[in-house]
Amino acid sequence: MSDNILICRCEDITEEMVKEALDSGITTLEEIKRFLRAGMGPCQGRTCGPILRSMLARKLNTSLQNIEEWRKRPPLKPVTVSAFIQVEGEES
């Protein structure tokens, strides 16, 4: 398989980038998120999160249960700006 496979489509993070980060000593999902910005795009990690968790578990030779999820911050699902704005003439 190619290392150019996209793991995080929102932030254009490839498998190769993740492997390099893991080889540099990263040991948590939170570190992956901060270092690569994985999980910070519009899908908030719903696509790449499980893949990254699995890659990290393999690298650390441990089970998925031992890999702590990254912190989720609101909104947990993407929302449009209009959800926060009251349009003139509309009641809330």
Q: Which CATH architecture has domain 6-84?
A: Orthogonal Bundle (1.10)
Mean pLDDT of the chain: 86
Whether the predicted pLDDT of 76 surpasses 70:
no
Q: Which run of H or E residues covers position 48?
A: helix 48-60
50 vs 87, residue with greater confidence:
50
Q: Give 8's strand partners.
A: 13
CB–CB of 64/53 below 8 Å? yes
| Cα separation values, 60 from 19, 21, 57, 77, Å | 12, 13, 5, 30
Q: What is the pLDDT of residues 13-39, one digit of tens each?
A: 999 999 999 999 999 999 999 999 998
Lowest mean pLDDT segment, chosen from 6-10, 11-15, 38-42, 87-91: 87-91
Whether the predicted pLDDT of 1 surpasses 60:
no
Whether the predicted pLDDT of 77 surpasses 80:
no
What six digits make up the tokens of 81?
């700006």
